[in-house]
Amino acid sequence: MTRPEQVAENIALVREKLRQARRVVVLTGAGVSAESGVPTFRGAGGMWRTYRATDLATPEAFTKNPQLVWEFYNYRREVLHPLQPNAAHKALAALEKRCQHFVLLTQNIDGLHQAAGSRAVLELHGNIWWVRCTGCGLKAEDRRVPIPFPPHCDACGGMLRPDVVWFGESLDSGVLHRAYTTLEECDLMLVIGTSGVVQPAASMGLYAQQHGAFVVEINLEPTPYSRAFDVSLLGKAGKLVPQLVKEPI
């Protein structure tokens, strides 16, 4: 267990590194949004009716029963609709405003970073508040709760689907290219609330480190990469991130 004085020293070190940094990249995962009340929709606690998210969030499920998949996503939208950004979201938005170059990569699809004021956001897994036409590919924001079924594209009449990356689908190549470019160029990276299991996001911190970045992990528990990073802080993002971002007196 890390001694309290070591934790304080690490926080002071990271704050100084943030003050010096010219190019900052942040990667966030489910651990950030969990403090706003966002459920994971996965595992034993992620059951919806008699289905698992891993069974419904697939292209095959949508092809077989699009109405069932839309019912599931409307349920998720209903859960997410009243939720608000927490202290970690707000601190990262404040950090963006004072950084010369800043990019926020997120695995989350809830849009809470943007709601907190973040603008330089790359959504690796899409956004639940956007839809995409399965016919012409047109994307649009749609915040209706619920979205009536069947939802059709205004441009071509094709069926709309959530604009998120489903299990078995590849991440958007353009988004990935931009993400890796920022990782290659940054001099400091914060990896916050991610398990270090889901690729390719899991290894992005290591990739940035290999390109010269000082990498800091913030998570409730150790991950497979904790020992490799320059600093690993254990605790809630809503408590630790504001401490790191706090302006010096």
Cα–Cα distances in angstroms (integers) from residue 23 to residues 90, 157, 174, 197, 233, in the given order:
19, 43, 20, 26, 21
- Regarding whether 160 and 175 lie in a shared domain, the answer is no
**Parallel, antiparallel, or unpaired for β 126-133 and 139-141?**
antiparallel
pLDDT bracket for residue 45 (50, 70, 90): very low
Provide the CATH number for the domain around residue 189: 3.40.50.1220
pLDDT for the residue numbered 42: 56
203 within a domain of the structure (yes/no): yes
Question: Which residues, 6 or more positions from 227, have their beta carbon under 8 angstroms from its beta carbon?
Answer: none
206 within a domain of the structure (yes/no): yes
- Regarding whether 19 and 140 lie in a shared domain, the answer is no
Provide the CATH number for the domain around residue 70: 3.30.1600.10
145 within a domain of the structure (yes/no): yes
Q: Could you tell me the residue range of the domain that residue 141 belongs to? A: 53-81+134-164
pLDDT digits (tens, 9 = 90+) for 111-154: 999 999 999 999 999 999 999 999 999 999 999 999 999 999 99
Average pLDDT over residues 4-14: 88
pLDDT digits (tens, 9 = 90+) for 188-216: 999 999 988 889 999 999 999 999 999 99
HSE of 232, CA atoms in CB hemisphere, 13 A: 18
92 within a domain of the structure (yes/no): yes
Q: At residue 121, what are phi and psi to the nearest 5 degrees?
A: -115, 130
- Total structural domains within the chain: 2
Tell me: pLDDT of 74 over 70: yes
Cis status of the peptide bond prior to 224, with omega within 30 of 0: no
- Regarding whether 89 and 21 lie in a shared domain, the answer is yes
- Regarding whether 156 and 63 lie in a shared domain, the answer is yes
pLDDT bracket for residue 246 (50, 70, 90): confident
Average pLDDT, the chain: 93
- Regarding whether 154 and 66 lie in a shared domain, the answer is yes
Average pLDDT over residues 79-99: 96
- Around Cβ 83, how many Cβ atoms within 10 Å? 15
Please list the active-site residues.
Answer: 125
- Regarding whether 15 and 63 lie in a shared domain, the answer is no
48 within a domain of the structure (yes/no): no
Question: Which residues, 6 or more positions from 43, have their beta carbon under 8 angstroms from its beta carbon?
Answer: none
Q: How far is 80 from 129, CA to CA, in rounded Å?
A: 10
pLDDT digits (tens, 9 = 90+) for 15-38: 999 999 999 999 999 999 999 999
Residue 249 in tokens: 């007196």
42 within a domain of the structure (yes/no): no
